[in-house]
């Protein structure tokens, strides 16, 4: 069986969750997240199975008996694809396909399919292709017999590596395939590294502004919250991974205080590590942000597990807990006061908000303003009042408490971010700054 097409769009799917000791899946409904992933990918869920095991079967993962049961249910329900909520080895996928006579995809392959279908920009497409190829490389022997000719803009592993070319004497097809994949991976890494360098330069250029980044579990409402806070026209969709590309907008907090707010790709439990690595450039905003607003769905029955999954990825990226603020979103859907009380006890520092109704948004803004102001210092600025660029800069980036003017001199009392002080000296030698708090 060839596996060039890993898409599940419009296919009838059988969902399988193998629950092992210590599984992170919801014990009440182990297929809940896989069901959402399948729907996001465009599959029609026709049947479901939950298999409880103490350990995996080395050959068929679920054991021969359950594999035969899957095959029978696949035949009886006219199933096109079997989706596992687990990561399988290449040999296990091959053996399961031989038993079921159906295409078998594991959790990582399904997530990669969703990412590929949602990638809109060149940057996202490159990152998805790299993740697909790095996932596919060790699986080439078992996944397909040959690789198709490169199609422009293709994102599937089979289509991404280019034409086979002329074989050397006695060289096996698989050896050619692997060499071409390695060559393509190296090229993609160079392209993404350049994107990464540009991202770093962009982030560094914003050091004079307090930067806030929205992070959280996928479908927690980050994009809706960003629209509420900034008025930005961003994509809002009720499915997983609607946002793959970072978007940044200005957020006016009042009293002359403005920060930059960015929205990032959402996370899920057991997010494939090669996806995290490939999307590091996209996540650069979160890595270097002054403050992370961790948006969580307060109405979700597994909100604690989702919070833990996001924190695990943030720890992997090196994002310190001291610059994170938890925002428990969708409180308009929390109708049981007990749930609100329990969440408040577990997360006393969290803000309760509703991105739909606007409830709690003002309080969240005040808390962000306090964080931004905490990184600020009170200064007295003396400069030539004809220095128009300096006057404009102060008006945009500082909170002015008092200002006095003579014919040639401006005396300004203001509060501004500590990291912006060095910028003042670049406006000329006549600019004098006196600190009222130690910088």
Higher pLDDT: 219 or 277? It is 219
How sure is the predictor about 304, in pLDDT bands with cuts at 50, 70 and 90?
Answer: very high
| Residue bearing the bigger pLDDT, 287 or 78 | 78
The answer on 231 and 85 residing in a single domain is: no
Residue closest to 248 by CA, chosen among 221, 265, 228, 226: 226
The answer to whether the predicted template modeling score (pTM) of the entire model surpasses 0.85 is: no
pLDDT band at 166 (very low <50, low <70, confident <90, very high): very low
163 has pLDDT over 80: no
Please tell me the total count of domains within the chain. Answer: 4
**Paired strand residues for 259:** 251
* 323 in the same domain as 281: yes
**CATH number of the domain to which 81 belongs:** 3.40.50.11060
Question: Residue 151 — pLDDT band, cuts 50, 70, 90?
Answer: very low
pLDDT winner (highest mean) among 6-20, 170-184, 226-240, 264-278: 6-20
Q: How far is it, in rounded angstroms, from Cα 409 to Cα 407?
A: 6
**Residue 382, beta-bridge partner list:** 411, 432
pLDDT of residue 244: 58
**Same domain? 211 vs 195:** no
Tell whether 304 and 362 lie within a shared domain: yes
Do residues 259 and 209 touch, judged by C-beta distance below 8 A? yes
Q: Is residue 1 part of a domain?
A: no
Query: Domain for residue 63, yes or no?
Result: yes
- 216 and 304 assigned to the same domain: yes
Same domain, residue pair 128 and 260: no
Asked whether the predicted pLDDT for residue 255 surpasses 80, the reply is no
- Tell me if 275 is assigned to some domain: yes
pLDDT band at residue 398 using 50, 70 and 90 as cut-offs: confident
363 belongs to a structural domain: yes
Domain termination residue (choose one: 373, 397, 416):
373
319 and 381 within one domain: no
In a domain, 383, yes or no: yes
Q: Given this model, what pLDDT does residue 388 score?
A: 84
pLDDT in tens, 33-77: 899 889 888 899 999 999 999 999 999 999 999 999 999 999 999
- Model pLDDT for residues 379-397, shown as the tens digit of each residue: 888 888 888 888 888 877 7
When comparing pLDDT for 375 and 225, which is higher? Answer: 225
Question: Which of 105-109, 137-141, 196-200, 332-336 comes out lowest in average pLDDT?
Answer: 137-141
Q: Domain check: are 210 and 191 in the same one?
A: no
Beta-bridge partner residues of 149: none
Confidence of residue 173 (pLDDT cuts 50, 70, 90): low
Answer whether residue 328 shows pLDDT above 70: yes
Domain end residue (candidates: 91, 112, 133) = 112
| pLDDT above 80 (res 208) | no
247, 333: one domain? yes
Contact (Cβ atoms closer than 8 angstroms) between residue 10 and residue 80: no
Q: What is the pLDDT of residues 337-367, one digit of tens each?
A: 999 999 999 999 999 999 999 999 999 999 9
Which token pair is 65?
């008996």
Q: For residues 220 and 374, give the distance between their C-alpha atoms in angstroms, rounded to a whole number.
A: 28
Shared domain for 258 and 348, answered yes or no, is yes
What is the span of the domain harbouring residue 59?
A: 12-112
Would you say residue 168 has pLDDT above 70? no
* 71 occurs within a structural domain: yes
CATH code (residue 395): 3.30.70.240
Quickly tell me which residue has 């330069």 as its tokens: 201
Question: With 90 as the cut, is the pLDDT of residue 416 above it?
Answer: no
User: Between 413 and 296, where is the model more confident?
Assistant: 296
Distance CA 224, CA 295 (A): 11
Q: What count of other Cβ atoms lies within 10 Å of the Cβ of residue 349? A: 8
- Classify strands 409-417 and 399-405 as parallel, antiparallel or unpaired: antiparallel
Question: What does the H/E/C string look like for the chain?
Answer: CCCCCCCCCCCEEEEEEEECCCCCCCCCCCCHHHHHHHHHHCCEEEEEEEEECCCCECCCECCHHHHHHHHHHHHHCCCCEEEECCCCCHHHHHHHHHHHCCEEECHHHHHHHHHHHHCCCHHHHHHHHHHHHHHHHHHHHHHCCCCCCCCCCCCCHHHHCCCCCCCCCCCCHHHHHHHHHHHHHHHHHHHHHHHHHHHHHHHHHCCCCCEEEEEEECCCCHHHHHHHHHCCCCCCCCCCCCCCCCEEEEEEEECCEEEEEEECCCECCCCCHHHHHHCCCCCHHHHHCCEEEEEEECCCCCHHHHHHHHHHHHHHHCCCHHHEEEEEECHHHCCCHHHHHHHHHHCCCCEECCCCCCCCHHHHHHHHHHHHHHCEEEEEEEEECCCHHHHHHHHHHCEEEEEEECCCEEEEEEEEEHHHHHHHHHHCCCCEEEECCCC
pLDDT of the residue at 284: 66
CB 375 within 8 A of CB 210: yes
In a domain, 4, yes or no: no
11: phi then psi, degrees, rounded to nearest 5: -105, 150
Q: Are 241 and 265 in contact (CB under 8 A)?
A: yes
If asked whether residues 234 and 369 sit together in one domain, one would say yes
Contact 329, 360 (CB under 8 A): no
> Which of 182, 201, 220 is the last residue before a domain boundary?
201
Residue with tokens 């799917």: 13
Q: Are residues 250 and 349 in the same domain?
A: yes
Q: In whole angstroms, what is the distance from residue 148 CA to residue 103 CA?
A: 18
User: How confident is the model at residue 83, as a pLDDT?
Assistant: 96
Q: Which residue has the higher pLDDT, 235 or 298?
A: 298
| pLDDT beyond 70 at 239 | no
pLDDT of amino acid 273: 64
CATH of the domain at 256: 3.40.50.300
pLDDT more than 90, % of the chain:
34
Q: Read off the pLDDT band of 175 (50, 70, 90).
A: confident
Is residue 6, in this structure, part of any structural domain at all?
A: no
């Amino acid at each position: 069986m060839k596996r060039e097409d890993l898409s599940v769009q419009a296919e009838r799917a059988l969902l399988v969750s193998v629950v092992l000791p210590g599984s992170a899946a919801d014990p009440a409904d182990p297929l809940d997240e896989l069901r959402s992933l399948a729907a996001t990918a465009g599959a029609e869920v026709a049947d479901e199975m939950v298999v409880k095991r103490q350990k995996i079967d080395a050959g068929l993962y679920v054991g021969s008996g359950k594999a035969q049961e899957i095959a029978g249910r696949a035949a009886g329900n006219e199933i096109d694809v079997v989706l596992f909520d687990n990561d399988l080895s290449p040999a296990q996928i091959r053996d399961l396909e031989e038993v079921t006579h159906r295409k078998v995809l594991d959790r990582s392959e399904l997530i990669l399919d969703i990412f590929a279908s949602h990638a809109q920009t060149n940057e996202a497409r490159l990152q998805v292709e790299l993740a697909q190829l790095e996932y596919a490389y060790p699986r080439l022997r078992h996944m397909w017999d040959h690789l198709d000719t490169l199609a422009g803009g293709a994102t599937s592993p089979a289509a991404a590596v280019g034409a086979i070319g002329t074989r050397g004497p006695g060289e096996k097809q698989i050896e050619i395939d692997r060499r071409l994949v390695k060559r393509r991976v190296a090229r993609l890494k160079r392209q993404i590294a350049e994107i990464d360098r540009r991202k770093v330069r962009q982030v560094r250029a914003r050091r004079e502004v307090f930067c806030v980044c929205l992070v959280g579990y996928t479908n927690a409402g980050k994009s809706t919250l960003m629209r509420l806070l900034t008025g930005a026209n961003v994509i809002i969709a009720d499915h997983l991974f609607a946002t793959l590309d970072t978007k940044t907008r200005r957020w006016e907090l009042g009293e002359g205080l403005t920060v930059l707010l960015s929205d990032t790709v959402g996370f899920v439990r057991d997010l494939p590590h090669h996806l995290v690595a490939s999307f590091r450039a996209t996540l650069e905003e979160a890595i270097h942000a002054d403050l992370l607003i961790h948006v969580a769905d307060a109405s979700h029955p597994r909100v604690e597990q989702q919070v833990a999954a996001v924190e695990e990825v943030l720890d992997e990226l090196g994002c310190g807990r001291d610059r994170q603020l938890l925002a428990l979103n969708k409180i308009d859907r929390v109708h049981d006061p007990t749930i609100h009380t329990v969440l408040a006890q577990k997360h006393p520092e969290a803000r309760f908000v509703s991105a739909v109704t606007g409830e709690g948004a003002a309080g969240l803004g005040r808390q962000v303003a306090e964080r931004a102001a905490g990184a600020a210092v009170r200064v007295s600025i003396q400069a030539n009042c004809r220095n128009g660029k300096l006057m404009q800069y102060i008006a945009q980036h500082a909170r002015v408490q008092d200002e006095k003017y003579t014919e040639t001199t401006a005396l300004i009392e203001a509060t501004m971010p500590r990291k912006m002080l060095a910028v003042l000296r670049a406006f000329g030698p006549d600019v004098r700054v006196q600190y009222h708090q130690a910088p």
